[in-house]
Amino acid sequence: MEKPFLKSRCLKVIYKGICRPILKYFVGVQYPDCSFLKDEKQFVIIANHNSHLDTLSLLTSLPGDILWKVRPVAAQDYFGNTKLKAKLSNFFINTLLINRRPKKEDGKSNALDKMIEAIDDGYSLILFPEGSRGEPEQLSKMKSGIARLLSQRPNLKYVPVFMTGMGTSLPKGGVVVLPYNATLHFGKPTLPESDDSYAIMDQIEKTFADMVEKYGVKEEEDDD
């Protein structure tokens, strides 16, 4: 995979030179050392999702040299509902746009197919298994798409990221509240212990349950 010079430089300037200092010093995001990701050929980051700032915070946490080959998975109906918006989000956010409501008869690839294609092209991904922003400081039920992806590419490592404090700023249906303190907690790059999607899902849920217990954010109660 050839490195796109202009795009890679642009992403590095935007996220490392502009956005990261703003989030760190004016918003209060606490960053860990993520230099270990440069040693990983490829990975998929899976994270909880409480705020509009989640994707931005994750991108600004990454080593600048690998930003160009890490693609956040995003909803096409929101980030790509016009051709101009799709082009801008692809260039400035490096998004992988997926259709959340695919129709089989239209002949287009579904979300899983597009993610696998991106992986096979050499990209890493950022994915929010909850699907959409949940209630502040709660972990919602994760969807099984990540497990199905890893079951088809069992040599792909996942990197769990648990974000605390993000739900106090730009939450779903809310307004920005500044300043606030938020922290990104990165787990170790981990291989699936099975090629069975159900077993992989159990493994991921256990990983996040341990993070919830460690970092003190409550899980969303099941209505059942």
pLDDT digits (tens, 9 = 90+) for 16-28: 999 999 999 888 8
Range list of β-strands (E), 29-95: 29-30, 43-47, 70-75
Token pair in block for residue 30: 């606490």
What is the total count of domains within the chain? 1
User: What stretches in the chain show pLDDT beneath 50?
Assistant: 105-108, 221-224
- In the block, tokens 């909850």 appear at 130
Q: Is 224 a domain residue?
A: no
Q: Which domain holds residue 40?
A: 5-217
**Helix (H), strand (E) at residue 138:** strand 138-139
Task: Look up residue 128 and give its amino acid.
Answer: F
Q: Is 83 a domain residue?
A: yes
Q: Is 223 a domain residue?
A: no
Average pLDDT, the chain: 85
- Are residues 146 and 130 in contact, defined by beta-carbon separation less than 8 angstroms? no
Predicted TM-score (pTM) of this structure: 0.87
pLDDT at position 85 is 84
pLDDT at position 99 is 81
Q: Is 178 a domain residue?
A: yes
Q: Is 195 a domain residue?
A: yes
CA 95, 29, 68 angle in degrees (round to 5)? 25
Task: Look up residue 184 and give its amino acid.
Answer: L
CA–CA separation, 185 vs 56, rounded Å? Answer: 15
- Are residues 96 and 115 in contact, defined by beta-carbon separation less than 8 angstroms? yes
Can you spell out the DSSP letters for 162-221? EEESGGGSSBTT-----S--EEEEE---B--S-S-HHHHHHHHHHHHHHHHHHHT-EEPP
CA–CA separation, 36 vs 61, rounded Å? Answer: 12
Question: With b meaning 16 or more CB within 10 Å and e meaning fewer, what string describes 192-209?
Answer: beeeebeebbebbbebbe
pLDDT at position 68 is 96
Residue 145 maps to which CATH number?
3.40.1130.10
pLDDT at position 119 is 97
